[in-house]
Structure 1
Amino acid sequence: MTIEAKLADLGVTLPDAPAPAANYVPFVQIGDIVYVSGQISNDENGLIIGKLGDTMEVDAGAAAAKRCAINLLAQVRAACGGDLERLVRVVKLTGFVNSTADFTNQPQVINGASDFLVEALGDAGRHSRSAVSAAALPLGVAVEIEGIFQVR
């Protein structure tokens, strides 16, 4: 089964790769490694805004992280000239969680991205990871995740 078919089975349609919002590129490829710039939490309704430990619960944060992972895959597809089958594996994610100083469940929030990538990609979705707190994120979004991917 292709990656796109598996995503469809999961009810996920990748959006067009989001354009950069400032003076940077959405991804850089060096050899067989693609570095994808941070993707903020948004969906078809717009930005997913919130602060974990204050205005947002862990489950909602995990859903926001999943949306970041969907946007990461959209960028990888763009880096691969539209052919997501060139994706070999997810190497590493770095997740930033907009949270209060006493919030300590950042890993559970970023699990929303990690769990989705493993569900969609199987073993190729297993990756190393960091999950860290941020006092604020761009535009007030709940989550931002950057990724490193191996492609062929």
Structure 2
Amino acid sequence: MTENSPLARLAALGLALPPAAAPVANYVPVTRAGHLLFVSGQLPVAAGKVDPAHQGKLGAQVSLEAGQAAARLAALNVLAQANAAVGDLAKLRALRLGGFVNATPDFQQIPQVVNGASDLFATVLGENGKHARAAVGVAQLPLDAAVEIEATFEIIA
């Protein structure tokens, strides 16, 4: 691991890639089409379950800060899936991030929640972490997760 590699940047944040989670329904976690890698939506799962702090609705049970932490953890799981697919995060450039936020109808800080994921991509992947994005409020997510993150990457090496 070189000093400025994505894994070194993760370690500097006190983070490590978790094992890539197996799908829990009829889908695959990653699909590759040519030089594009599509990572299915990932939840803020650690040790096989969603932490209760990352369950519920933003604007009700979940604070902005807890939502951002949930988005960051879900993004870490996206990176784990991408790394499992290509073997090296340095081979990837983020193209698009999709963020889904389990929120009350009046919650207005959906983009700020998804910043938890965007900021992680930018920090870990550096210039290759800059991406287009959608941040969408939804009525419910699987396992009552506060956030779900999906991404599309270009394989560059």
TM (norm. structure 1) is 0.94
Map of 1:52 onto structure 2: 58
Q: Note the 1:2-151 alignment, pairs <5 A.
A: 2-44=5-47, 46-47=49-50, 48-80=54-86, 82-87=87-92, 89-151=93-155
Task: Specify the SS of the correspondent of 1:131.
Answer: strand
Task: Specify the SS of the correspondent of 1:94.
Answer: strand
What letter is aligned with 1:68?
A
What letter is aligned with 1:115?
D
List gaps (5 residues or longer) in structure 2.
none
Deviation of residue 6 (structure 1)? Answer: 1.5
Deviation of residue 83 (structure 1)? Answer: 2.4
Answer whether contact 2:90 2:125 (CA < 8 A) is retained.
Answer: no
Distance in 1 (alpha carbons) for counterparts of 2:79 and 2:71? 13
C-alpha deviations, 1:29-70, integer Å up to 9, x for none?
Answer: 011110000001122483021210000111110000000110
List gaps (5 residues or longer) in structure 1.
none
Q: What is the CA RMSD across the aligned residues, in angstroms?
A: 1.2
Change (3 A) 1:25 1:45: closer
**Aligned positions, number:** 150
TM (norm. structure 2) is 0.91
Task: Specify the SS of the correspondent of 2:14.
Answer: coil
What letter is aligned with 1:114?
S
C-alpha deviations, 1:71-99, integer Å up to 9, x for none?
Answer: 0100100110x222222x11001110000
Distance in 2 (alpha carbons) for counterparts of 1:97 and 1:104? 11
Deviation of residue 116 (structure 1)? Answer: 1.2
Moved over 4 A (4+): none
Identity, % of aligned positions? 49
